[in-house]
Amino acid sequence: MIARDGEHEIEISRSRFRCVLARVPDLDAAAAVVARVRAEGHTATHHCTAMRVGADGQARRSSDDGEPSGTAGVPMLEVLLHRDLTDVVAVVSRWFGGTKLGAGGLVRAYGRSVSEALDTVGTLRRVRHRELLLAAPHDRAGRLENALRTAGYRVRDVRHGPDVTITVLVPDGADAAFGAWLAEQTGGAVEALDVGHRDLYLR
């Protein structure tokens, strides 16, 4: 996932290439971004696109928008695939500068435009976590929460009721080590209830 929406512009042989990147939840939202960029940059010669959305990015589309087949949308999509990015749309608008770049030059230009734009906005990696619930007595909860944070565990929520319920996120595969840590911290008095997976997007 990209860290934020943004844009970046480069110039190659007097042609301007402006890449707009946006987070999108589905293809309809991606199409809306493309329509907006087209309207805002109506003087551009081409608006080439690449998008990848959905679970594991299985929905993907690309368009050369009048550039020679395979010279724009495909290399743009390849950059998104290479960086394993999902829920993102890239639109590269080109203002022709009078010098033809040839097929190879176009492939490099459109790929570079997306790559440099991604470097500008930053990307996040998806890390799967286990979401665990801990129920602790009120007289132990404060110390336990502090120990969790000190140890680097992600405390997502703390709720007060008959007991204090702490929701903590533990990286997938580290739950056994966390269980041993919890037993040591609480003398076995607090157990973790696994309530499923949660994906976090981290730098």
Domain span including residue 72: 6-121
pTM (two decimals): 0.78
> What's the domain count of the chain?
2
Q: In what order do the strands lie in the sheet with 164-171?
A: 154-160, 164-171, 125-136, 192-202
Q: Last residue of some domain: 60, 90, 121? A: 121
- Does 153 share its domain with 59? no
Q: What is the pLDDT of residues 62-94, one digit of tens each?
A: 999 999 999 999 999 999 999 999 999 999 999
Number of neighbours of residue 5 by Cβ within 10 angstroms: 14
Residue 94: predicted pLDDT: 98
- Does 74 share its domain with 156? no
- Does 82 share its domain with 176? no
How does the average pLDDT of the chain come out, rounded? 95
Q: Does any domain span residue 1?
A: no
Average pLDDT over residues 114-141: 94
Q: Last residue of some domain: 99, 121, 143? A: 121
- Does 31 share its domain with 109? yes
- Does 81 share its domain with 144? no
The CATH number linked to 165 is 3.30.70.240
- Does 65 share its domain with 159? no
Residue 121: predicted pLDDT: 97
- Does 144 share its domain with 115? no
Integer angstrom CA distances of residue 98 from 18, 64, 201 = 17, 19, 42
Q: Which residues make Cβ contacts (< 8 Å) with residue 191, sequence separation at least 6?
A: 134, 182
- Does 143 share its domain with 185? yes
